[in-house]
A and B are shown apart, each in its own frame.
Chain A
Amino acid sequence: MSKNTAMRPRPLSPHLSIYKPIPTMLMSILHRITGAALYVGTLLVAWWLIAAAGSPEYFDLVDSFFGSFIGRLILFGYTWALMHHMLGGIRHFIWDAGLLFDKETSTKLAWATLAGSIILTILIWIVGYAMR
C-alpha cells in the first residue's frame, strides 16, 4: 500500500502553456533556442576550418555550399542567432549587476534585444556584401 503511494505521479507545477506570453519570457525562451542552434552551428565552423585546411577542391565544394541560397539562408539565421544570444547575454550581465530589473524597463530591454539582434544581423550582411 505504501508502494502505491510512491508509484502515484508527483504533482507538477503549472507549465508554460498556462502563462500569457510576455516579452521577457519570449526572449528567455529565444535565448535558449538560439543557444542550442549555435551549438549545432559549431559543426559548420569546424567544417569550414577543416575545408580550409584541406585541398583547394574540397574547400571550393564547401565554399559553394555556403555560397548557395540554402547556405546563405543558414548563415543568415546563424548570424541572427549569434547576435540575439550575444545581446541576451549582455542583458544578463546588466541583470547580474542588479540593474534594470523593474517591469517596464525589463520589458523595453526585451524588445531592444529583439530589435537590436535584427538590426545588427542586417548591418553585418550589408557590410559583408559591401566589402565584397
Chain B
Amino acid sequence: MSDFRTPLGKVRGSGSARDGTEHFWRQRLTAIANVPLVLFFVGLLISLNGEGYDTVREALADPLVTVLMILMIGSAFYHMRLGMQVIIEDYVHGEGNKLALLILNTFFTVLMAALSVFALLKIAFGG
C-alpha cells in the first residue's frame, strides 16, 4: 500500500494524534522525578507526624525542603494532569463534554499547584 503521508508529516513524526510521543514521554519523565520527590514527601510527613504548628512551619521553611516540595508539586501535579487527561479521553466520548473536562482538568491542576506553591512560599518567606 502506498504511503499517503506528506514528507513534512513524515519528518515531524507526530502521527494522527498530532503530538507524537510527547504525552508518553512527559508522563515517564515526571514519573521518574516523582519517585524520589514523593518518597521525600512521605519521609517529611513521617518526621512531622504528631508535631504542632511551629515545628511543621519551621520544617517547611527550610530552603531545601521548600525547593524539594515545590519540585514535588510541579512534577506530581503535571503527571496527574497527564493521567487524568487519558482517563477523560478513554471514557468521555461526547466532544463537548470531553473538551469541557479536559479544560477543567488543567484548571484544577494549575489551581492546586498555585495554592500549594503559594502556601510554601508564604511559609518560607515568613508570611
Contacts and interface: CB of A to CB of B under 8 A. Distances in A.
Interface of A: 32, 35-36, 38-39, 42-43, 45-46, 49-50, 52-53, 56, 59-60, 63, 79, 82, 86, 89-90, 92-93, 96, 124, 127-129, 131-132
Contact of A92 (B31, B38, B109): B31
B46 interface: yes
Given A36-B87, A89-B34, A49 B53 contact: no
Interface residues of B, number: 34
Nearest to A90: B35
B116 A52 contact: no
Contacts, number: 82
B42 A53 contact: no
A12 to B, nearest CB: 11
A4 B112 CA distance: 47
Contacts of B120: 49, 53
B26 interface: no
Which has the most chain A C-beta neighbours within 10 Å: B53, B87, B112, B118?
A: B53
Contacts of B56: 52, 59
Contact of A52 (B49, B57, B109, B112): B57
A89 B35 contact: yes
